[in-house]
Copies of this chain bind each other. A is one copy, B any other.
Amino acid sequence: MDNDFYFRYPSFQDVHTMIFIGFGFLMTFLQRYGFSSIGFNFLLSAFSLQWSTLVQGFLHSFHGGKIHIGVESMINADFCTGAVLISFGAVLGKTSPVQLLLMSLLEVTLFGVNEFILLSLLGVKDAGGSMTIHTFGAYFGLVLSRVLYRSQLEKSKQREGSVYHSDLFAMIGTIFLWIFWPSFNSAPTNTGDGQHRTALNTYYSLGASTLSTFALSALLSKEGKLDMVHIQNAVLAGGVVVGTSGEMMITPFGALAAGFLAGTISTLGYKFLMPILESKFKIQDTCGVHNLHGMPGVLGALVGALVAGLATHDAYGDGLKNVFPLIAEGHRSATSQAVYQLFGLFVTLVFASFGGGIGGLLLRLPCLGSPPDSQCYEDQIYWEVPLEHEDEVQRHLRIEDPETQA
């Protein structure tokens, strides 16, 4: 009855829901790319969690010639898959399944190495993965997307937006991510107070990021209208930003402040930074992962370093040995832990950029089935699409190009 299963399996199932339903449906916002969004998300996840079980197993739990598995290895494999799906978001609609599988093969490996360096060698704390998952996944994907830059992507512009019902499908993803994020951040922490505190902090942070996102989305629009892109994405920044600090004594007020700030930065990113990234830096970021995972992830790493640097025996009591064992055992000061946290962020950015660069070069190999510029964001090259939709596509094309009718 004391089996670890009973303390972590419900959290694992919440995380599992986030990976397959959350990420999968969040990406169905594209009007003609729903099959690919949900289908490739499924394929990449099923592949990554198996490959990651091996990679993480060799690095973390290889004893006596065998990889030890259990509910914790399932959670960790899902976490690694999360990073892959973040990168997938950056290149969504512009890559073939073969390219994506190749990306996953590389990214899962580098994720495992980076995570091993941070958690095992540097003693960095990052339970909910602000660094190892969000920062790593986002910058890996962004650099990869930069290498795969398509100057003629406007040929597919008419399919890049959403339609009414595709936005509702995307909200299924958003909300499942939102409600289960407290489980995500708390799934791998120490049992007992550690999980309890992490869940609470994440819950408050998400509440605050939701309010700041709604407020800012309306304020930034000329007519005071809300933008579904912000609501589908930036509300989640509160979960990302406490990924490192959620298990620490950030306090509910700190969590609310961090969440409020993350929602603000993320919404501003979608509104102002994203067009600049494309026009100036040639980074085409389909889902805006820079705004949802990149910036909030880096901010989360900084918040984590700050809160770690403020750790005292008084504040944590007996819990200090669980949250910061190296400080509790006197091997490190709080300040030194904070420096290690910052160094962990640096290592992550290096690994992500390097990996994304290599990945991009690999994915530019011919024969990987990359879609042509005029067929991006289009299911029909990879899927049997029911006839009725093709009819609608025709109808749309006619509406869009009235001169072809004449």
Is A13 touching B180 in the complex (CB atoms < 8 A)? yes
Q: Nearest Cβ in chain B — how far from A401, in angstroms?
A: 15
Tell me if A168 is interfacial: C-beta within 8 Å of chain B. Answer: yes
A179 lies within 8 A of B16 (CB): yes
Residue interface mask A33-44, B partner, CB < 8 A = 1: 011001100110
Contacts from A to B (Cβ < 8 Å): 1-7, 9-10, 13-14, 16-17, 20-21, 24-25, 28, 31, 34-35, 38-39, 42-43, 46-47, 49-50, 69-71, 74, 97, 161-165, 167-169, 171-172, 175-176, 178-180, 183, 191-193, 195-196, 199-200, 203-204, 206-208, 210-211, 214, 218, 221, 225-228, 231, 235, 252, 256, 381-389, 391-392, 396, 399
A58 to chain B, nearest CB (A): 14
Partner of A385, one of B164, B191, B192: B164
- Closest Cβ of chain B to A369, distance in Å, is 8
* A4 cross-chain contacts in B, Cβ below 8 A: 196
Nearest B residue to A227 via CB reads: B384
Given contacts A168-B38, A228-B384, contact A208 B50 (CB under 8 A): yes
- Which B residues are CB-close (under 8 A) to A167? 34-35, 386
A28 to chain B: closest residue by CB: B168
Give the number of times this chain occurs in the complex, counting copies: 3
Contact A34 B1 (CB under 8 A): no
Selected contact of A226 from candidates B13, B20, B39, B386, CB within 8 Å? B39
Contact between B70 and A179, CB atoms less than 8 A apart: no
| Residue with the greatest number of chain B CB neighbours at <10 A, chosen from A7, A24, A39, A391 | A39
Taking a contact as CB atoms closer than 8 A, the residue among B162, B165, B196, B256 that contacts A165 in the complex is B165
**List of B residues within 8 angstroms of A25 by Cβ:** 172
Which residues of the other chain, B, contact A35 by a CB distance below 8 angstroms?
167-168, 226, 228
In the complex, are the beta carbons of B3 and A196 less than 8 A apart?
yes
Q: From residue A349, how far is it (CB to closest CB) to chain B in Å?
A: 31
The distance from the CB of A52 to the nearest CB of chain B, in whole angstroms, is 11
**Is there contact, CB below 8 Å, between A10 and B9?**
yes
| In contact, A176 and B38 (Cβ under 8 angstroms) | no
Residues in B with CB closer than 8 Å to A10 are 9-10, 13
Complex Cα distance, B178 from A387, in Å, reads: 27
Q: Please determine whether B69 and A252 come into contact, CB atoms closer than 8 angstroms.
A: yes
Considering the chains assembled together, what is the distance between the CA atoms of A208 and B231 in angstroms? 35
User: Which residues in B have their C-beta under 8 angstroms from that of A46?
Assistant: 206-207, 210-211, 214, 235
User: Distance (Å) between the CB of A275 and the closest chain B CB?
Assistant: 16
* Alpha-carbon distance between A342 and B386 when the two chains are bound, in angstroms: 42
A250 to B10, CA, bound (A): 24
A351 to chain B, nearest CB (A): 26
Whether A6 pairs with B6 at a CB distance below 8 angstroms is yes
Cα distance, A210 to B323, chains bound together (Å): 38
Do the beta carbons of A5 and B196 come within 8 Å of each other? Answer: yes
Residues of B within 8 A of A162 (CB): 386
Of the A-B pairs whose beta carbons lie under 8 Å apart in the complex, a sample of 7, sorted by A's number, is A1-B192, A39-B171, A42-B231, A74-B200, A97-B218, A164-B392, A391-B399
Asked if B383 contacts A225 (CB within 8 A), the reply is: yes
Please name all residues of chain B whose beta carbon is closer than 8 Å to the beta carbon of A196 when the two chains form the complex: 3-5, 70-71
Evaluate contact between B164 and A50: CB separation under 8 angstroms: no
Closest to A14 in B: B13
Pairs of residues from A and B, 9 with the lowest C-beta to C-beta distance, nearest first = A46-B210, A164-B389, A5-B196, A10-B10, A163-B388, A16-B179, A3-B192, A50-B207, A46-B207
Which residues from chain B contact A14 at a C-beta distance below 8 Å?
Answer: 13
